[in-house]
Amino acid sequence: MDSDNPYSFYAESFRKLFEEGINLPLGGMAKPPVPDLLEDAPVALLFSPHPDDECIIGGLPLRLLREAGVRVVNVAVTLGSNKSRQQPRLAELKAACVWIGFELQETMPNGLERIRSATCESDPDYWTRAVRVITSILNEYDPAFMFFPHDQDWNGTHIGVHQLVMDALKSLPLDFSTLLVETEFWGQMQSPNLMVESSVQDLADLLAALSHHVDEVRRNPYHLRMPAWMQDNVRLGAELVGGEGGEAPDFNFATLYRIRQWRKNTVEEKWDNGRQLSAKASPANLFAEILQSP
């Protein structure tokens, strides 16, 4: 290490921290308390392309649960394409959701298959059946919030889930309305309009929940890299959400989202400008209009 470079120790500390993180337990830690929710609590549905997405994009859902009394239900759209891993991944997903306090809604015993844009053209009958599954879930829960990937999230299944959810929305009656919350992981959104800070404790809990996806993070320890990704989101969000040349907020970790409204079978813009939700501010205030509707 170059002792003359003051950044050598700084860079080395990141490498060392990751190396030490490999020895952290995968699941099995004491479960945090889950808030008691009202019987008629508003619902947030998380349409997850794969098991683990519920934790990766979970910054805002976790805060809605803990700070605004929102019932968070993770919809396991697929269980991955490796058939031998589908049931083990479902078991890991159940453990992660129970630990963090999210409910779990399955689509099919082994999840939906081939949820990619090409399937809509190559097998329209199967695609129609898949849309009906999502439509049924929307009718059952009547969600106040819907989380799902944006349409350029690179991964084929992530993009497919976006199209699947949008097709299901188009099949609903004109009086159905909900808040659309688009997420990102594999591909950055060009126009996010909300940056949500996570406290150190919330981040630690998301990482602990993610660690329950044991075989996935053993294959690729992306749970240990998630804090760095969320730090970089602060860099991005300062300008993409706050405006070009905007001053970076005093956030440590954040997740980016795009908020829009579904009303009368069409997507409507929700806000004129981007918003930044600090860990000290309440999401109940930001979404008061949604949470207070009858």
Ranking 59-73, 223-237, 240-254 by mean pLDDT, the lowest is 240-254
The mean pLDDT value for 139-143 works out to 98
Q: Which residues, other chains included, contact 275 with Cβ-Cβ below 8 Å and sequence gap of 6+?
A: 193, 194, 195, 241, 259, 286
Residue 284: C-alpha distances to residues 38, 198, 291 (Å): 15, 15, 7
Digit-coded pLDDT (tens) for 99-131 = 999 999 999 999 999 999 999 999 999 999 999
Q: What would the two tokens of residue 239 be?
A: 């300008």
The residue type of 235 is R
Closest CA to 100 of 213, 22, 262, 259: 213
| Rounded CA separation 66/75 (Å) | 19
Q: How much is the pTM? A: 0.96
Q: Which residues, other chains included, contact 180 with Cβ-Cβ below 8 Å and sequence gap of 6+?
A: 146, 148, 258, 259, 260, 261, 262, 267
Confidence of residue 246 (pLDDT cuts 50, 70, 90): confident
The residue type of 33 is P
Confidence of residue 293 (pLDDT cuts 50, 70, 90): low
Confidence of residue 215 (pLDDT cuts 50, 70, 90): very high
Digit-coded pLDDT (tens) for 12-28 = 999 999 999 999 999 99
